[in-house]
């Protein structure tokens, strides 16, 4: 995890430089915060984290910086059925288990799923850059909770 963060920091500096973006404290801390989490936080959740570390950060800045990260490829917005954006600093191909009960999003890494044979002929109408599979269902925490409620 630490190694990942270190690499991410180096990537951050390189990508910012390449894109002519200043290395500000805000960008640095927001990236660190996002990269250290595996729970695909919303912008507001990132803000809550960051607010403890930088006195007086603005919510606006967090939203703006996250958007910047997406545009330069340092982060991704992940697909989810909620009506708010969730961010992920891991931009490599992987998939998600999302609990329809509590909304938690769990990463799923799987080599076979990363190398699907795509249906022939699509590329004519749509240039596919990447894909991600969203598995919907019930996480183990919610399974237990739901069973408990039924047994009452």
> How many CB atoms are located within 10 Å of the residue 15 CB?
15
Minimum CB separation from DNA for residue 151, in Å?
25
Complex with DNA: residue 25 or 122, whichever CB lies closer: 25
3-32 binders of DNA (CB under 7 A): 20-27
Site residue total, a copy of itself (CB under 8 A)? 41
Q: Select the residue interacting with a copy of itself from 37, 97, 103, 145 (CB under 8 A).
A: 97
Indicate the SS3 state at residue 17.
helix
Q: Are 46 and 30 contacting, i.e. CB atoms less than 8 angstroms apart? A: yes
Q: Select the residue interacting with a copy of itself from 18, 22, 125, 147 (CB under 8 A).
A: 125
Site for DNA contains 67 (CB under 7 A): yes
Site for a copy of itself contains 127 (CB under 8 A): yes
Closest to 113 (Cα-Cα) out of 91, 95, 130:
95
CA 128 to chain centroid = 20
- Across-strand partners of 78? 86
Complex with DNA: residue 11 or 113, whichever CB lies closer: 11
């Amino acid at each position: 995890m630490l190694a990942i963060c270190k690499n991410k920091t180096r990537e951050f500096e390189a990508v910012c430089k390449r894109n002519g973006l200043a290395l500000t404290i805000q960008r640095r801390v927001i990236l660190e915060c996002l990269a250290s989490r595996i729970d695909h936080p919303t912008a507001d959740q990132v803000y809550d984290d960051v607010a403890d570390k930088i006195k007086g950060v603005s919510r606006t800045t967090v939203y703006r910086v996250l958007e910047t990260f997406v545009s330069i490829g340092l982060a991704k917005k992940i697909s989810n059925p909620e009506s708010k954006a969730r961010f992920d600093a891991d931009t490599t191909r992987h998939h998600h288990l999302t609990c329809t009960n509590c909304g938690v999003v769990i990463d799923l890494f799987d080599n076979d799923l990363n190398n699907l044979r795509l249906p022939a002929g699509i590329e004519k109408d749509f240039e596919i850059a990447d894909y991600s599979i969203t598995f919907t269902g019930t996480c183990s925490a919610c399974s237990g909770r739901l069973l408990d409620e039924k047994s009452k």
